[in-house]
Structures are given as C-alpha cells and as structure tokens.
Amino acid sequence: MEEQRKQVEGIREAFKAKFERFANLRSAASDLKLASAEALSKELAEFKIKSTGKKSEIAEAKKLIGKVAPEERGRFGQLVQAAEKEITDLLEKAEAELNEFITAARIERERLDVTIPGRRPRTGHLHPITILRQQIEDIFVSMGYAIEDDREIETDYYNFDALNIPEGHPARESQDTFYTTGGFALRSQTSTVQIRAMERRGVPIRIIAPGKVFRRDTPDMTHVPMFHQIEGLCVDKGITMAHLKGTVTEWLKRLFGEDTVTRFRPSYFPFTEPSAEFDFSCFVCHGSGRVSSEQRAVSSKEGESAGEQLTANSSQLTDRCRPCKGSGWIELGGSGMVHPNVLRACGVDPAVYSGFAFGFGLERMAAMMFNIDDIRHMFENDVRFLEQFK
C-alpha cells in the first residue's frame, strides 16, 4: 500500500510540474496575445488527454485499486480518486480561463468604434492630357468620326512601309525609333492606325486615333521620349483638300473660339501628297502677336509658376504674346491628301477613293493652354502639379 501511495503521489507531483505553464493564466493573461492563447489552448487539450485519458498514468493507477489488500482498498481508492479529481479540476479551470480570455480577445479584435470619424476617399481627377484629348474627341465624335484605339508596339510594316516610308528612306531616321529586342518598333507616330483602321473597317472611313508615341529624344522643356498624338483620317469618294481645310478649321474653332483662323503651309510627308503643315491663330492674342496688360493678366492667371512670372514680367516691356512668341500663329501639326501608295497598301483603289489625314501632338498644345512651362511636369506625377487640374 505504501508503495502504491507513493506512486500516486508521484503522479500528482509530475502532473503539477507539467501543468505549471497552464497555471495562473488569469494573472498572465494581461500580456498574453490572442495567437499564443490559441496555441496554448491546443496544447492544453493535448495535455488533458495525456493526463486523464485511457492511457494516462492516473488511469493506470486506478487499475491498482483491485490489487491492494482488501482492508486498504477503500482508502487507496479514495486517494486515487482525490488525485484524479484534483488533476481534472485544475485542467478544467485552466481550460475555462483560457477560453474566456480567447473569447474576450476575439471580441476586442473585431470591435468597431463607430464614433471614429471616417476617412474620406480622395476623389481622383483627370490628367491635363486626358482633359484635352477628351475635348478633342467630343468635337470629332460630334462631326461623325469614330475613335480608334490601337497597339503601341508595331512592326516596321505598319510604322513605316505601309505608310510609304520604304527602308533607307530618310524619314525613318528623323523619327528615331525605339525597338524591342524582338525587333518590334514602339510606334513613332499614330499614323500606323490609318493602316490598321482601313484594314479593319474598309472605306469610306472617318476616324481619329489618339494615343502614345515613342521617340528617342533626350528630355528637355519641350521634348519627352513618350508623348501623345491624335491622328485623323477621312477617306471617301470625292474627298479634296477643301474637306481637309474645312475639318481642321472647324475643330480648332470649336476648341478655341469662332474667330480662330487656320493657315496651311506646303510641306512634305511620305504618306501624303500634297502635304501641308497647319497653324492656327493664337488663342491669346487672336493673331495680333501683341497682348494688352489685361489679356496678359487673364492668360497667366492660372497655374502661374515662378518661371512664368519672370517671362510675364519681361514680356510686359515688349508686349509680345507668349504662346505664339509674337508671331500670332501657333504651329500644330502635319496633314495632307492620303498618298495613293498608302491607299493601295490597304487594298483601296485610289482611282475611286481619296482622303485626307492629319496628325498633331498633344503635349505642347496642352502646355500652351494650361500655362505649363515644361512638358516634363506632365509625366513626373507630382501631385502638387496634378492637383492644379482638378
């Protein structure tokens, strides 16, 4: 009996030593983290099985009850039961404490303080290039044009050959083109979409194609290696240069006002014949090249930068209009009658159909309209700059 009593005592001692880490949870709970409490709870469950399950030492001890002398059996039985009860009670108490802590911690984690002021989402706004592009798109859509969007990575065929710029043609050099390692060109002009659109839609066709173009230019105040162009194309029976001039003049009048006039200067582009560059009368001085001090005040009112202030002050002495540099004209883009070779490349018979095309860049135009002194600002994504176009 003495031996068995010692054995039970040993079981109790061993249990208590191992139970130590689950004891006193209540006082430890303050710095217990939810995750470690959850882990501890798992361990406790395993420990409970080990300590009280069928194969536990206390279960083994119960089997000894029948083996002690009958007169001592009662007392020994009580001893074992008392040890078992103590073990079970301690385990259950620890379990209850741990569960209580976990429940409270979970509630705390999911708690919402509805009285905290909300975070107002900052509403976005359009980039100046997008603003201008959409204004021009609206004008052309109202004149019955469709908007074409097309790829920025092209083959030499679409960037050059189909546009009547054969290999070795100097125009290939003047548009210093970026190439991918796979030999594709980042399109250097939106004129590529003339070909794509005619192949896709056939003729008659009236489209404009806004988009990004890429050229190997070193960035400075008026150059960036990626910029935006808008291409226009109209092909039908009986289209003449008069339609070109009428269309270009009409959209510029709608954008800058009824009194806007245009000017076409003979030029050369491989994909048009004849070709012309077009200018429009300055939207600030209306073609005079001079500005009154009131006009200047109005034209430099918005988005004035330190650099602009200087220019404005010095122009006060000469009264020279700034956007047109005193010439009264703003040069905008290229245009012409679509070259017969371009029509042929798209399977269109130049004996039946004729058309005009034009193309111009958006950055310099936007820079003038919004008083931006350096077009690089448009791609630096500095919110202090961008927020001025809200």
Stretch that binds ligand DAH, among 81-89, 124-132, 220-228, 332-340 (CB under 6 A): 332-340
Instruction: Say if residue 210 is exposed, middle or buried (CB neighbours under 10 Å; 0-12, 13-18, 19+).
Output: buried
Decide: is 323 part of the binding site for ligand DAH (CB under 6 A): no
Contact 266, 274 (CB under 8 A): yes
Residue with smaller CB distance to ligand DAH, 210 or 333: 333
Task: Write the binding mask 34 to 73 for ligand DAH: x where contact by CB under 6 A, - elsewhere.
Answer: ----------------------------------------
Q: Which of residues 220-279 bind ligand DAH (CB under 6 A)?
A: 231, 269, 272
Query: Given the rule CB under 6 A, which of 65-73, 327-335, 363-371, 379-387 is the region that contacts ligand DAH?
Result: 327-335
Q: Which is nearer to ligand DAH, 83 or 357 (CB)?
A: 357
**Contact status: 336 vs ligand DAH (CB under 6 A):** yes
Residue 189 contacts ligand DAH per CB under 6 A: yes
Q: Write the binding mask 358 to 387 for ligand DAH: x where contact by CB under 6 A, - elsewhere.
A: xx----------------------------
Among residues 308, 318, 327, the alpha carbon closest in space to that of 370 is found at 308
* Residue linked to tokens 């809200």: 390
Q: Let me know: does 194 contact 348? Beta carbons within 8 Å.
A: no
Toward ligand DAH, which CB reaches closer, 191 or 262? 191
Torsion of CA 45, 47, 51, 56, to 10 degrees: 100
Q: Which is nearer to ligand DAH, 11 or 193 (CB)?
A: 193
Q: Is 120 exposed, middle or buried (0-12, 13-18, 19+ CB in 10 A)?
A: exposed
User: Any contact of residue 210 with ligand DAH (CB under 6 A)?
Assistant: no
Does residue 177 bind ligand DAH (CB under 6 A)?
A: no
Which H or E run includes 185? strand 185-186
Q: How far apart are CA 194 and CA 338, in angstroms?
A: 10
Contacts of 151 (CB under 8 A, 6+ apart): 187, 196
| Amino acid type, 103 | T
CA dist 303 and 296 (Å) reads: 13
**Size of the chain in residues:** 390
Contact status: 211 vs ligand DAH (CB under 6 A) = no
Nearer to ligand DAH, 94 or 337 (CB): 337
Shortest separation between residue 244's beta carbon and ligand DAH, angstroms: 9
Q: Is residue 140 close enough to count as binding ligand DAH by CB under 6 A?
A: no
For residues 85, 86, 89, 91, the Cα torsion angle rounded to the nearest 10 degrees is: -120
If binding is defined by CB under 6 A, does position 357 make contact with ligand DAH? yes
Q: Does 354 bind ligand DAH (CB under 6 A)?
A: no
Phi-psi region of 257 (alpha: psi -120 to 50; beta: other; left: phi over 0): left
Q: Which residues of the chain form contacts with ligand DAH (CB under 6 A)?
A: 189, 191, 231, 269, 272, 333-336, 357-359
